[in-house]
């Protein structure tokens, strides 16, 4: 498991050249698998990066705000954090986990609604800036790989990882391999349609799973309750300073932990839909474990208890088949960069 960056000693080394790194990757040098790589996790609000060793330990990490929605500025920011880290560590490659759909060559961001990337050649843009081999991966795939290698999925060969945040990201480990699909954009489970004609989604469809089992859904439910019946939402409104439109997912979780019935009901509703979708995935994939990460998973059993309950109710062939475990991710906010760094070794 990753350790906090501040707890790890720093071992200054001369920065690697692009030629040395490329030769090591091409030759399959043991230093490639045991040496250091950089993982970068790019989201809508932050760019987090860290130097990661072959055991998945983060030796040093940095974080910067995502610079708006300008693709060149995001590439510049990634290059800047890589330069900061390579000043003190010799690394062999860079892996980028991006919140978007990535092509089969792990090079272009085909579509990223929260960053306005459209067919963006991110790998080549960053490689030209940093002089190191670069791979680009979907952030949920990176999280899934990290949990499989170093976290809650260790020892499991068929694994579904779900990041329940603003939306739902998905990553699949099937037969011990990361499944990416024919075009690189498989496992986008959050965009399974569960309610035809339902809530509109940023992907262009309506009724997608993430519109009912995500942070966005949680906030929508909480704000609706607070607007319709403020007395029933007292604890949630106290957490948000009395601002209905300012209610956030953490506000709801905080109120639920204090026993607020309305907040608990919101998490139960989201958990119900989460379990419903997991049951459908079981029919298709038959995994032996679901690993749940992302910000909404901070609610713990307030979310997972109703999710497990609905999953067991809705799974096909219930009572006549083994069923998967549903567990919380272990690596927390560093899973994306750890997974991206490890995938850069492959």
User: Rounded to an integer, what distance in angstroms lies between the CA atom of residue 314 and that of residue 61?
Assistant: 42
Q: Over the Cα atoms of the chain, what is R_g?
A: 20
Terminal CA-CA length for the chain: 20
Contact 289, 328 (CB under 8 A): no
Q: Residue 27 pLDDT > 90, yes or no?
A: no
Asked if 49 and 40 touch (Cβ cutoff 8 Å), the reply is yes
Distance set, CA 251 to CA 46, 164, 210, 246, 283 (Å): 21, 16, 20, 9, 35
- Reading the block at residue 237, the tokens are 């409104």
3-state class (DSSP) for residue 337: helix
The residue among 231, 322, 334 whose CA lies nearest residue 4 is 334
Q: Which residues of 234-260 are buried (b: 16+ CB within 10 A; e: fewer)?
A: ebbbebbeeebeebbbbbbbbbbbeeb
**Percent of the chain, pLDDT > 70?**
90
Cα separation, 335 vs 241, in Å, equals 32
pLDDT of 20 reads 33
Q: Which two tokens stand for residue 229?
A: 């019946």
Residues 6+ apart with CB under 8 A from 166: 44, 114, 214, 215, 216, 295
Rounded-to-integer distance, Cα 325 and Cα 198, Å: 29
pLDDT of 171 reads 96
Instruction: Identify the pLDDT of residue 289.
Output: 97
Q: How far is CA 312 from CA 12, 218, 325, 326, in A?
A: 51, 22, 10, 11
Rounded Cα distance, 142 and 40, in Å? 10
Dihedrals phi, psi of 345, to nearest 5 degrees? -80, -15
- Tens of pLDDT, residue by residue over 236-266, are 998 888 889 999 999 999 999 999 999 999 9
What are the residue ranges of helices labelled H in the chain? 18-27, 30-34, 71-86, 122-130, 139-150, 215-228, 234-239, 249-257, 261-285, 301-314, 335-343
Does residue 4 surpass a pLDDT of 60? no
Phi, psi of 236 (to 5 degrees): -65, -40
- Listed in sequence order, the residues at least 6 apart from 230 whose beta carbon sits closer than 8 Å to its beta carbon are 237, 244
Torsion of CA 76, 78, 83, 84, to 10 degrees: 120
Q: Is 289 helix (H, G, I), strand (E, B) or coil?
A: strand
pLDDT at 175 (0 to 100): 95
Q: Which domains does the chain have, with CATH numbers?
A: 5-148+334-343 (3.30.420.40), 154-329 (3.30.420.40)
Question: According to the model, what pLDDT value does residue 13 have?
Answer: 37
Residues 49-98 have pLDDT tens digits of: 999 999 999 999 999 998 877 888 999 999 999 999 999 999 999 999 99
Q: Are 136 and 107 in contact (CB under 8 A)?
A: yes
Within 10 angstroms of residue 300's Cβ, the number of other Cβ atoms is 14
pLDDT at 16 > cutoff 80: no
Q: Which residues contact 9 (CB under 8 A, 6 or more apart)?
A: none
Mean pLDDT within 5-18: 37
Confidence tier at 6 by pLDDT (50, 70, 90)? very low
């Amino acid at each position: 498991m990753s350790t906090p960056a501040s707890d790890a000693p720093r071992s200054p080394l001369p920065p690697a050249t692009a030629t040395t790194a490329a030769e090591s990757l091409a030759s399959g040098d043991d230093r490639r698998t045991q040496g250091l790589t950089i993982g970068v996790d790019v989201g809508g609000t932050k760019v987090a990066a860290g130097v990661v060793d072959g055991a998945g330990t983060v030796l040093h990490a940095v974080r910067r705000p995502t610079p708006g929605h300008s693709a060149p500025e995001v590439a510049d920011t990634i290059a800047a954090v890589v330069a900061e880290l390579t000043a003190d560590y010799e690394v062999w490659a860079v892996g980028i986990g991006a919140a978007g759909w990535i092509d089969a060559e792990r090079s272009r961001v085909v579509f990223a609604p929260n960053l306005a990337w459209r067919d963006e050649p991110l790998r080549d843009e960053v490689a030209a800036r940093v002089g190191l081999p670069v791979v680009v991966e979907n952030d949920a795939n990176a999280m899934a790989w990290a949990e499989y290698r170093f976290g809650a999925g260790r020892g499991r060969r068929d694994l579904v990882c779900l990041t329940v945040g603003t939306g739902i990201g998905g990553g699949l480990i099937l037969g011990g391999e990361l499944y990416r699909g024919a075009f690189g954009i498989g496992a986008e489970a959050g965009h399974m349609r569960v309610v035809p004609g339902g809530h509109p989604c940023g992907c262009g469809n309506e009724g997608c799973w993430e519109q009912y089992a995500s942070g966005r859904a949680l906030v929508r439910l909480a704000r609706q309750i607070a607007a319709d019946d403020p007395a029933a939402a007292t604890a949630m409104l106290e957490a948000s300073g009395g601002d209905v439109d300012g209610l956030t997912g953490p506000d709801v979780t905080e109120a639920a932990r204090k026993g607020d019935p309305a907040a608990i009901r919101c998490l139960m509703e989201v958990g119900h839909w989460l379990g419903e979708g997991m049951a459908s995935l079981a029919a298709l994939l038959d995994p032996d474990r679901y690993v749940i990460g992302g910000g909404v998973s901070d609610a713990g059993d307030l979310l997972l208890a109703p999710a497990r309950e609905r999953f067991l109710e809705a799974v096909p062939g219930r009572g006549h088949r083994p069923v998967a475990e549903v567990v919380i991710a272990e690596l927390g906010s560093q899973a994306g960069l750890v997974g991206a760094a490890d995938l850069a070794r492959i």
